[in-house]
Amino acid sequence: MNFIFRKMTLDDLEQVVAIDQISFSLPWPARSFFFEYDNPVSRCWVADLDGRVIAMMVGWLFVDDIHIATFATHPDFRRQGIGKALFFHTLKSAKAEGARTAFLEVRESNIAAIEMYRQFGFIENGRRKGYYKDNQEDAILMSLGHLPEDE
Ligand SMILES: CC(C)(COP(=O)(O)OP(=O)(O)OC[C@H]1O[C@@H](n2cnc3c(N)ncnc32)[C@H](O)[C@@H]1OP(=O)(O)O)[C@@H](O)C(=O)NCCC(=O)NCCS
* Separation of CA 9 and ligand 1 centre (Å): 24
**CA dist list (Å): 65 to 44, 107, 134:** 15, 21, 29
Q: How many residues make up the chain in this entry?
A: 151
* Amino acid letter for position 143: S
**Would you tell me how many other CB atoms lie within 10 Å of the CB of residue 91?**
19
Residue-wise pLDDT for 10-62, tens only, equals 999 999 999 999 999 999 999 999 999 999 999 999 999 999 999 999 999 99
* Separation of CA 83 and ligand 1 centre (Å): 6
As beta bridge partners, residue 47 has 5, 55
Contact indicator for 47, 12 with CB cutoff of 8 Å: no
**Would you tell me how many other CB atoms lie within 10 Å of the CB of residue 90?**
24
Residue 151: pLDDT over 70: no
DSSP symbol at 150: P
* CATH code for the part of the protein at 3-144: 3.40.630.30
Contact indicator for 77, 23 with CB cutoff of 8 Å: no
- pTM confidence score: 0.97
Residue-wise pLDDT for 129-144, tens only, equals 999 999 999 999 999 9
The verdict on the CB of residue 27 being under 6 Å from ligand 1 is no
Atom of ligand 1 nearest to the CA of 85: 12
* Amino acid letter for position 68: I
Rg (CA), the chain: 15
Which residue's CA is the closest to the ligand 1 atom numbered 27?
A: 112
Which residue's CA is the closest to the ligand 1 atom numbered 4?
A: 83
* Separation of CA 73 and ligand 1 centre (Å): 8
- HSE-up (13 A, CA, CB side) for residue 25: 10
With the most atoms of ligand 1 within 8 angstroms of its CB, the residue from 19, 79, 87 to mutate is 79
Please tell me the predicted confidence (pLDDT) of residue 1: 83
* Separation of CA 112 and ligand 1 centre (Å): 4
